[in-house]
Structure 1
Amino acid sequence: MSKPHNQNSSLSPVNPGSAVSPRKGLGAVGSPIPWRFDPFAILGVLLLIGIWQALLPVTPRSALPTPWGVVTTLVQKFWYHKTFAFYGLVDTGFFSALLYTVENVLMAMLAGTAIGTVAGLVTARSSLMRAVLDPIALTLGTVPIIIASPFLLLWLGGDRASAVATVAFYVSVILYTYAQRAADNLNPVYESAARTFGASPRRILWDVLVPGTLPEILGGIRIALAGAWGLEAIAELLASQRGLGKLIRSITAVSDVQTLFAALLLLALTAAVFDAIVTSLFARITRWRALPANGRSGAI
């Protein structure tokens, strides 16, 4: 009969009960995957550009600019361009508008992630709190964020607060669901073993529950971040005086299609860059899941 592990080893955050193999990608439980070169992604981009080029001969330039023209416009107007000042914009270049949007998204992600994660973990272990908060989360989750945005604008005004609140609202609902499901999916044997060795609730929280739910929560953060960019642009488009959303609204009013495409391209590139950074960071944070345990790979 093998000897039982000592208390320290039993409470270490190795194999905390995730049911997904570390070799799997962002699947049903949202396990983040390390960044790697994907030739199919490059093929998809080339295919999109090819379709774009094929449509040019049958589409007027006033409706569809050339890819090179869009890239040139983005470069020329990135730091400063007099047309932005002519439009009456506070941001006189793509960079200042992008910086404002990025700041709002990051603030909303921090607030929404903190609220949603804490609420999800608490309700997963408290039947009373779950009975109280689940109906609220379910109701809020069924309300389209586009419908909720005007109310937040009325309550908070058309400045940064309303845009951040809109995105944070969306993020918190997603993270609430992911955190709660991650705690429910955690094998109860780990918490039972921790109690057997005399672990306090605080120790169980930090040594079992947090590392055990972390991979799924990080996957939820990645999904929430992907949608946050579009929601932030919509919130800025509705009432903000700054940001890429405001920029898009202004250039749409004057039918500057090439600049509009450049703004959309910049927003898409920013979302892709942040997703790559977050994926790589999360893969490093959860790299312990790939460590061998008793001759087997990390996750159970």
Structure 2
Amino acid sequence: MSPQSTADAGPGRIVLAATPLGNLGDATGRLRELLATADVIAAEDTRNTRRLCQGLGITPTGRMVAHHEHNEAASAQGLLDQVRAGATVVMVSDAGMPAVSDPGHRLVAAAVEAGLPVTCAPGASAVTTALALSGLPTARFAFDGFLPRKDGERRRRLEEIRAEARTVVYFESPQRTAAALAAVAEVLGEGRPACVARELTKLHEEVVRGTAGELAAWAAEREAGEGIRGEVVLLVGPASAEDVAPASDADLVAEVAALTASGTRLKEAVATVAAAHGLRSRELYQTVLDARRE
């Protein structure tokens, strides 16, 4: 397949437009112009986008349509037809950059496949904002979306970053933040550096930094009291040299046992732990079986 270029783009286009995380003062001039002049505004939630426009003093001249995770596949084709007809389609999510754990990826992929132009009006992003505030290393980082809701699956995901040399950024529900931090402390160790960034750019912005153990205790206390509210970004710092040191057979068996105790099937637990330590699943599986016989 030949490489694609946007240099010869026609009159129609898709624009991914970042919207403020909370502070309307972060709206760029380009965002304001796009919302006011776009032929079509594809919104994750039209009610939220109408409130945004009202807050910015903007009256859109184009149509506003819903484009969210439940209708994205079907909606994308209609939006592409609009682009083919020469329309400017602006895609916005409720906050931050569309397509980053928000609707938009399928639309972009479909546009690329159809050879239609896509561009971006950059702006606020919870990922980079939290990263900059965290105090954790920023030269190398990874964004891993939302942690799984189920405890066993969450632990498997965290096992994958046991030896991670980069800061890892997650989105998290406020209702699951305490459980997530407890899992981080148990799976990765209480001393692993971490950060919780909550309600970024808003009136009650809060950034809590410390070890995984300290943050787990903070979250448990907060949950027992007033609760954890608002949008949450959870960051886990890189592994230390001690974390990446070769684990003993006893440590490996204990890690597998912790996963199986949380409901993970033995073979899946072995595969997860083996991948985290760069080992062969077959050899670790045999080690676990031998330990069980003893």
Q: Decide: shared fold, TM above 0.5.
A: no
Q: TM-score, length-normalised on structure 2?
A: 0.23
Higher strand share: 2
Bigger RCO (CA 8 Å, 6+ sep): 1
Higher helix share: 1
Q: TM-score, length-normalised on structure 1?
A: 0.23
